[in-house]
Amino acid sequence: MKVLITGANGLLGQHLIKQLLYQQVHVIATGRGIQRLPFEPSPLYTYHTMDITNALQVYAVMEKERPDVVVHAAAMTQVDDCEKYPQQCETINVQGTSQVLTDAETFSSYFIYVSTDFVFDGEKGDYTEDDELQPLSWYGFTKMQAEAMVQTSTIPWAIVRTCLVYGKTLQGTRSNIITWVRDSLQEKKPIKVVSDQWRTPTHVEDLAMGIALMIEKKAEGVFHIAGKDKLSPYLMALETAKYFQLDAGMIEKVDASTFSQPGRRPLKTGFVIDKARKELGYEPRSFAEGLQSFLG
């Protein structure tokens, strides 16, 4: 089986590749620009430069590799940048998805789209796969649009929604909440962290495992893949400081109104993961267990 991954240079892409190679799956990694991955070329691993907004480039790679499975993880995900540059966001998240999906329908037999908790408005929290989508931000809106396109696909498809992904970077990926808190406190920089937003933070290795299970079972439909603990970013920051034995006194507890941000964030998301547990055999680690992966 051959699996093509878009957005391979990102945090999820790197860990998903690692997971699939461990399972002896043939991986085609793609990303914008040069490879930033800590993997050597091998009979099971190939990297292609592929900008999902470049139709000719996408088609050429898909035609050459003809993957059995496409995992579409590439996206513009910075919420404020999506609000400030809506056309760029729409080009990447909607038109780019359309291009990858169209070529997957021609050359592949199964498509997985990686989505987000930001398709919800955050009024309810504890969302299931069947809850109504009501995004607050342009980023969330473009992800909802892309989900709708995937659901009309002519090949078997799945959508995996996830929530506040964190984990140890392998190489060259941008920081996540844990690395930001750890690095800031190590550098003696005071930080402000919101206490009135609630999530079920997801360890990146759990997300990769969930997607690998979906590929293995050819699961179809929408799945929520997230952690088991409901936490605010502030509580996450306190736990991070405690784990790394850093000064929690430099963490200031604030609410969302403290920040003037172009993109609105939902206050309460968090996912019910019963479907993934039942149909995939998915079982995530606790947040405390997730912190342990940062050792070394």
For the chain (296 residues), the mean pLDDT of every run of 10, in chain order, is 96 96 97 87 95 97 98 97 98 98 98 98 96 98 98 98 92 80 95 95 97 98 97 96 96 90 93 98 96 79
> Are the beta carbons of 286 and 228 closer than 8 angstroms?
yes
State how far the alpha carbon of 38 is from the alpha carbons of 172, 217, 270, in Å. Answer: 9, 28, 32
State how far the alpha carbon of 225 is from the alpha carbons of 29, 75, 85, 133, in Å. Answer: 22, 18, 29, 17
Q: CATH second-level architecture of 2-167+197-230+265-292?
A: 3-Layer(aba) Sandwich (3.40)
Q: What is the pLDDT of residue 90?
A: 98
Q: Give domain limits for the chain.
A: 2-167+197-230+265-292
Q: What is the pLDDT of residue 173?
A: 63
Q: What is the pLDDT of residue 36?
A: 82
> Are the beta carbons of 44 and 27 closer than 8 angstroms?
yes
HSE-up (13 A, CA, CB side) for residue 109: 5
Inter-axis angle of helices 204-217 and 11-22, nearest 10: 50
Q: What is the pLDDT of residue 132?
A: 97
The angle at the Cα of 295, spanning 289 to 296, to the nearest 5 degrees, equals: 160
Alpha helices in 187-232 (DSSP H): 204-217
